[in-house]
Amino acid sequence: MEACRKLSTTVTVLMFLVLALVVIQSHGLRTHQFVLKEKQYKRLCNRTTILTINGKFPGPTIYAYKGDTFIVIVKNKSNHNITIHWHGVKQPRNPWADGPEYITQCPVQPDSKFKQKVILSSEEGTLWWHAHSDWARATVYGAIVIFPKHGMTYPFPTPDLQVPILLGEWWKKDINKVYNEFLATGGNPNLSDAFTINGQPGDLYPCSAAETFKVYVDYGETILLRIINAAMNDILFFSIANHQMTVVGTDASYVKPLPRDYIAISPGQTVDALVCADQRPMRYYMAARAYSSSSAVPFDNTTTTAILEYRYGYSDSSTVSSLPPLPYYNSTGAALDFTTR
């Protein structure tokens, strides 16, 4: 990664200014407005009404610094009860704002609102927030990016670009019907119709190529991918064609750098991975698919894709690499090899 070590923070700072939530200063604490409402989205050639925060799928990213405290005002403009959980946030001495429905708080009812204080302590890296009511988290979720304290640095070279990668699922059917059906039958829920990367299935699915998520890079840049598995129940393999990843953090804690050709990420887990843009400039697939230990258990065996695209140095913008060599779906050895390193 020597070609990627002379780095600039300019792009990173600008990206944060553009992508960060619009926040309101309230009594010295940043306040985020989360409005739960239904919105129609088109995926896989069909329109489906889903629950969203602020009309976004995935929802907005929250940016903070280690040790910060911030306020989130949840306004429920839907017809469903809702709570929001701050996954991985320790919330010291503040459990009543943690989000699990009927455990630490009552749900926010339709046409009402609730103010949650989120207290960060030792967390640094990537976490996420999601709904904690029934299966609402299938579409109501987003990233939490926690930077080092002001004046502190990363324990690795400062990346040029930082990109949240949220791995999720998509059902053509109303998610509440999916949930109610499997409760009524006592069986497994209907399989998802697609996996997604930042809300998009990718160009291997019908009616999806034009909206495939892309990360644009310049040769020599280092990218910090903040990878989150927001899928309901699936362990996922994730890889990038021709590019090795160096894992530097999991669940908002730093780890000893671990070079890997792929990652295995469990539901609810986060992984921070550095990627050096040091390959021949063109378009490279990023891809994810499920790990399942048994072929006897039904699972979604489709593959979601995104694209890592170099801005300069090639002429044919339609050319894309082959898919990265992801482990086979039931490769327990590959899953264990990643987690036991």
What is the structure's pLDDT at 339? 72
H helix runs in the chain, sequence order: 10-19, 175-185, 332-339
What is the structure's pLDDT at 110? 97
**194 SS3 class:** strand
Separation CA 282–CA 319 (nearest Å): 7
What is the structure's pLDDT at 23? 45
- Residue range 86-132, pLDDT digits in tens: 999 999 999 889 999 999 899 999 999 999 999 999 999 999 999 99
* Cβ–Cβ < 8 Å for 218, 311: yes
What is the structure's pLDDT at 340? 72
What is the structure's pLDDT at 2? 55
Separation CA 155–CA 143 (nearest Å): 21
Give 46-49's long-range contacts (Cβ < 8 A, gap of 24+).
46/172, 48/171, 48/172, 48/173, 48/174, 49/174
* Cβ–Cβ < 8 Å for 321, 282: yes
What is the structure's pLDDT at 5? 56
Residues of the chain with pLDDT under 70: 1-28, 315, 317, 341
Separation CA 197–CA 225 (nearest Å): 12
- The conformation of residue 108, written as its DSSP 8-state character, comes to B
